[in-house]
Structure 1
């Protein structure tokens, strides 16, 4: 084998390794928060909430009790959780991919006073970049999820999901909430 062939193979191997490294960054949280096998990893403190009024005189949630951004997670969905039994059923969706998430969500339910508070769980696809924060807005009968995230990379290997649970004063949640 000649010198040219050896150099070509070395360059090809290096290029392949670099390409795989770049592609691999799309499979976990961009800030290193992706869990094992792409499972959602809990990132306490990653979600933010503000107390500024939203459109129509509404406001944002009082407290974030769970936040995760990863390529894999439960299917998109949202739910107001009124008691521990509903929290346990909601948390069970996380069990297979992230048992710690299940535990954290169930624990949040145990520390919630359901006579004056509810939990709102929301999972949504965020596209090709991981969410860095989330906020729940309440305006009239409408609940909305606002997600902050960096600009996605030019290539998209896997779509990310955000999973977040908010603790909200019961009086702020409408009897028949409209999600969206």
Structure 2
């Protein structure tokens, strides 16, 4: 029985190594672009409503983030099954390892700021953007190289948002514009990479 267990463990290791060496094809440009459009619509709506309450600001962007994650996650599952077949599990786990720490950090920071320092919620857009940049960079070997441009965008936009928000405070545009443009840039990079690789 030991030989069988060792062989199964070796097969699992080989599958994980293959998944780590190939590009992940579970992100579709259309759904990613849709999440960018959602961010821009949310910023326009919130700007027209002149929302100043921290709870309303936080609730809207938390809702946009959850909806975006659900859309991207559902498509990741479907595309992974189509493109990676039996290796879909290791591919999805590899992406989770890259993106989950940033996602948990973003949710934790938002919860702590909301609960204990609502006056500092102006930090949230910039911090979330920097965390997305770190996630894109940490997943870099498994994603098209052009996504490093999107990672750089998110990093610079996050720094810019922190600088601008230190004067302006909560602004729907400091959340919506960087995310909207960033997601559209990610979608463009994915589209061009998919066209290049057929």
What TM-score bracket applies, with the shorter chain setting the length? under 0.3
TM (norm. structure 1) is 0.27
Higher normalized strand content (fraction of residues)? 1
Give the TM-score normalised by structure 2: 0.25
Between 1 and 2, higher relative CO (CA 8 Å, sep ≥ 6) is seen in: 2
Which structure: greater helix fraction? 2
